[in-house]
Amino acid sequence: MAQRVFIKVVGFTDQERHAVNTVFRLSEQCRTMYQLWTPHAPEAAGMALLDGQSYEARVEAELSFNGGLKLLWVGPEAPARVWRSFDRPIAWPAIIEAMDSVFVGDPLDFDVEVGEPTTGMSLKQALIVCADRDERLYLRARLSLAHLTQADEAESGTQAVELARGKQYDVALVGFGLPDMDAWSVLRELRDGKRPIPHVAVTKCRRSLPEHVRAWLGGAEALLDAPPHPARLNAWLKRI
């Protein structure tokens, strides 16, 4: 059953607040949805996320009426009542994993939506990175149905990086379970290399909200099933 959990957030820079809002937005299509608590929220906060650099956060940690509230602290010298503490730079997947350990919910399918649909798929170049031959064939077939017929395949991270150095790709699909590199490392190489690939999606079985956050932080536009559900894959391709 779906549930909504309100999180009290105290302190943090504008950039960190933006990250918090993005993480909460990513959770909106999960069964456990996180939302910023305000005094006008329909129920009490289920957890608090406190910035150790903020005087208000330290006061919040000492308030007696927060005695039953689990506190997440970012920064050094966490008060004794804090449940979990984290260092900067903030590792958002670790914070989400801590939240999920309390408010357990099974993830639903969702992607990070960016951009507007464009045309001319037949002119675009795709790179399929997956160790499993059958999955590569499936992805090639799905891309062809979307009129993206020019696709190269790589069965390892090293091979994918080498291909990307010699050719400009418009789209890449990167799978987990590569024999030599993890998918996050391949994603970084493809997004930050000599010829950056502007549109990259990652495919994985049993996706979770922390992994969606890692994908977002790494520059992926979507985290899809492995192999991707046709409707999900087509929806992402239409935004390219």
- For residue 116, is it within any domain? no
Mean pLDDT for 196-224 is 85
pLDDT of residue 29: 60
- Which pLDDT score is estimated for 225? 84
82 near 58, Cβ under 8 Å? no
Same-domain status, 142 and 65: no
> Pick the residue with more confidence: 189 or 138?
189
Q: In terms of residue numbers, what domain contains 19?
A: 3-102
Q: Which positions ≥6 away from 141 have C-beta within 8 Å?
A: none
Please check the confidence at residue 133 and state whether its pLDDT lies above 80.
Answer: yes
- Which amino acid, 13? T
Q: How much is the pLDDT for 108?
A: 40
The answer to whether residues 12 and 30 touch, using CB atoms and an 8 Å cutoff, is no
Report the CATH number that the domain containing residue 190 is assigned in CATH: 3.40.50.2300
Contact 152, 167 (CB under 8 A): yes
Do residues 156 and 90 both lie within one domain?
Answer: no
pLDDT above 70 covers what percent of the chain?
Answer: 92
* Residue found by looking up tokens 């909504």 in the block: 4
Residue 137 lies in a domain: yes
Give the helix ranges, DSSP H, for the chain.
14-26, 55-62, 92-102, 133-145, 157-166, 183-192, 209-218, 230-238
- The strands making up 84-86's β-sheet, listed across from edge to edge, are 32-36, 3-10, 47-51, 70-74, 84-86
Do 137 and 59 sit in the same domain of this protein? no
Average pLDDT of 162-174? 95
**Same domain for 199 and 162?**
yes
Match 């960190």 to its residue by tokens.
16
Q: Decide if pLDDT at 111 tops 70.
A: no
Specify the number of domains making up the chain: 2
Residue 14 has pLDDT above 80, yes or no: yes
Inform me whether the pLDDT recorded for 114 exceeds 90.
no
Note if the pTM is more than 0.85: no
Give the helix/strand (H/E) hosting 128.
strand 125-129
Q: How many CA atoms lie within 13 A of 231 on its CB side?
A: 2
Statement to judge: residues 54 and 143 lie in one domain: no
Asked if residue 26 and residue 135 are part of one domain, the reply reads no
* pLDDT of 115 above 70: no
Q: Could you tell me if 158 and 232 lie in one domain?
A: yes
Q: Which of 135, 131, 111, 130 is nearest to 238 (CA)?
A: 111
Same domain, 166 and 226: yes
What is the per-residue pLDDT across 84-96, written as a single tens digit (0 to 9) for each?
999 998 888 788 8
- Domain shared by 129 and 95, yes or no: no
| Residue reference for tokens 């009490």 | 44
pLDDT at 117 over 50: no
Distance between CA atoms of residues 21 and 142, nearest Å: 33
Give a yes or no: residue 183 inside a domain. Answer: yes
Residue 231 contacts residue 146 (beta carbons within 8 Å): no
227-237 pLDDT, tens digit each? 887 878 888 88
